[in-house]
Structure 1
């Protein structure tokens, strides 16, 4: 599409000259800039319902963009140049306010209204022979402004994306370190976190060379199952913090597929996001000890790795076994600790345990069921029996003396 016609004749000083018709049009345009701006602002309020709902400052910023656009068009029409100046002359310092106030779709609606307002005035601004050139110039100019607006929003999105990525990394690091400060809560709010409960941390190996879309794909998949998700890659480890998780077993099984080969461990559920640090610590401890259980499911709970974590020197796992298994068994009395100990020592035989304790086999079965009720771990399942046996070992080591609950049970 050609530019508005411009005379190629030269003046004595070597400057380009313009036709009398165009000179008259430029003169009228300059004289009517104020009127065009007023008409445009009135049309914005009439045609765009969302415009009147903006705050006074927001309307002022957008009105300034419209007025700058009209004034810059007059200058451009007189001397068409490359469009690179549009970002500074039209938008000025408004891009930040513009992208915060309205979406790109609304910005283009605003540009359309401005263009239509100017087009409607073409018959009053230009002689008949110059009207086609003026209309063509308006269309070309509006195209350049639209491209410039898209560039403004693209740059803002890139900046916001980079900032969000850095902010997310800071939050993940703070949670892993156990930070619980106003700064952390402020950062979480700035990131737009909505979940208020049920937080879980998953850890595993990160891909050696993740694709540019890897993190976005992982975040989108997590968004199907959780209200919010934070993704962090620290060296060769991938951390996923999930909030408001629905259907945890199914969700984590699906999310584990996006981790690199190797163990994937999830920590216990935390009631608040700052407390997710404990879930993360348990998950990392489980990840370090997971190789001791080659046939562990993927993903595996950090609590299912308590025996391996104890052997690896995890004091939190030792305390968990004592507090959640050993002490409840001792407190329950009724011979549960003695029955469980004999059951393990005698090769998991119900009959041999009954003979050792001088009780009926049904009594042994009853007591083992009680162990499951008290602790949540079933001694009749080999893996869970291993957890219970480890709990007995660390519990006895933690005791200063022999608990009363471990006296011989006698006949029943």
Structure 2
């Protein structure tokens, strides 16, 4: 024969079961009045949220009837909603949903339980709210793991396409799925990959990029660490944000391009410059790919050859052939203004003036050793091109 305590418990359970619908309705009304994100949702998503709230109350009643034998809270509550709802409702919003629903039940608990059972019911609600909180965290953790694995695969596909310079429409759409659809100012940074787990290395790079407010795609490709940075205005500054995560050796930054769809050009320049960087042991770290044009030209990079000829030799000839003559004489005489002036039968101030014009036209200063080397290469390549054309 049931004891008085068991009869009270059974009565309370029946009251809770009868009140499940009204409690769910009250919880929905409270969410609509107090949670702005709920009111902004589509009707379909709101209906799913309501079903989750109702399932939560019903699961509480079942759990309250038999805490030890109740089915898993995850299946009872969150299993009623489709997986898409996890993306539509954030974890913080789920916490708000649970808090609001529990608060509504607490407000009505005095009407549903006898005075003897009130402490017992409230204690049960505390235990249940803890269980459902853990269940919600588990659901979102699994969704995050699945999303992370999918994002990692998409990221790998995008990086492979960048290195092959094969950015088809589907690759751009994959970048959009990773949140890069509206990202502007993109550059590619390459260098040697450090030892260790590639996923750990990639996470460290992304953490450093986020700290400096850059977006980042990254991966280890054939012992190279490739980092695509977004929201970049200055390539060298952006590269320094992730520099510490590269192994010792050269780190090369490709040019900034408008969008991810154009990043193949930045990747190509960065990779060809990385291969040629061994020819400049004293290169800064990081170094811009365009600062390695002479070494890239020596390594057989046709684009570097074309840029040196077009941006230096052809531009100087178009400005004034005397600039080419003066620059050539100055470089051949190891930077002697007086020797150059005697060779050309002009005043040294004329030589100075022409060298300043060379710097203005090309952006390279003949009196600087590194720039003088780039200018010498450009003159040699320009003459070779003219000779082949005439032949």
TM-score, normalised relative to structure 1: 0.85
For structure 1, which segment, 221-230 or 380-389, has the greater mean C-alpha deviation from structure 2 after superposition? 221-230
Where 2:225 maps in the other structure, the secondary structure is strand
Q: From 238, 250, 262, give the equivalent of 1:263.
A: 250
In 1, the alpha carbon distance for the partners of 2:245 and 2:350 equals 48
For structure 1, which segment, 294-303 or 183-192, has the greater mean C-alpha deviation from structure 2 after superposition? 183-192
Structure 2 gap ranges (5+) = none
In 1, the alpha carbon distance for the partners of 2:187 and 2:146 equals 29
Q: In the alignment, is residue 159 of structure 1 matched against residue 146 of structure 2?
A: yes
In 1, the alpha carbon distance for the partners of 2:275 and 2:69 equals 60
CA separation of 1:93 and 1:233: change in aligned 2, threshold 3 A: farther
CA separation of 1:83 and 1:287: change in aligned 2, threshold 3 A: farther
CA separation of 1:185 and 1:250: change in aligned 2, threshold 3 A: closer
Larger Rg computed on CA atoms: 1
Q: From 114, 117, 125, give the equivalent of 1:130.
A: 117
In 1, the alpha carbon distance for the partners of 2:193 and 2:365 equals 34
Q: Please report how far the alpha carbon of residue 79 of structure 1 lies from its aligned counterpart in structure 2 after TM superposition.
A: 2.3
Given that 2:236 and 2:288 are in contact with CA atoms closer than 8 Å, whether structure 1 keeps it comes out as no
Q: From 376, 388, 397, give the equivalent of 2:375.
A: 388
Equivalent residue number for residue 37 of structure 1: 24
Equivalent residue number for residue 136 of structure 2: 149
In 1, the alpha carbon distance for the partners of 2:93 and 2:184 equals 36
Q: How many equivalent residue pairs?
A: 388
CA separation of 1:116 and 1:267: change in aligned 2, threshold 3 A: closer
Equivalent residue number for residue 183 of structure 1: 170
Q: Please report how far the alpha carbon of residue 293 of structure 1 lies from its aligned counterpart in structure 2 after TM superposition.
A: 1.1
In 2, the alpha carbon distance for the partners of 1:367 and 1:44 equals 76
Q: Please report how far the alpha carbon of residue 288 of structure 1 lies from its aligned counterpart in structure 2 after TM superposition.
A: 0.9
Q: Please report how far the alpha carbon of residue 63 of structure 1 lies from its aligned counterpart in structure 2 after TM superposition.
A: 0.5
Q: In the alignment, is residue 208 of structure 1 matched against residue 199 of structure 2?
A: no
Equivalent residue number for residue 284 of structure 2: 297
Given that 2:317 and 2:323 are in contact with CA atoms closer than 8 Å, whether structure 1 keeps it comes out as yes
Q: Please report how far the alpha carbon of residue 184 of structure 1 lies from its aligned counterpart in structure 2 after TM superposition.
A: 2.7
Q: Please report how far the alpha carbon of residue 296 of structure 1 lies from its aligned counterpart in structure 2 after TM superposition.
A: 1.0
Where 1:129 maps in the other structure, the secondary structure is coil
Provide Cα deviations, 1:298-327, integer angstroms capped at 9, x if missing partner.
111112212211222222211111111121
Q: From 226, 241, 262, give the equivalent of 1:239.
A: 226
Q: In the alignment, is residue 309 of structure 1 matched against residue 296 of structure 2?
A: yes
**Root mean square deviation, CA, Å:** 2.6
Structure 1 gap ranges (5+) = 1-6, 10-17, 404-412
TM-score, normalised relative to structure 2: 0.90
1:358-377 matches, within 5 Å, as: 358-377=345-364
Q: Please report how far the alpha carbon of residue 175 of structure 1 lies from its aligned counterpart in structure 2 after TM superposition.
A: 2.3
In 2, the alpha carbon distance for the partners of 1:236 and 1:83 equals 52
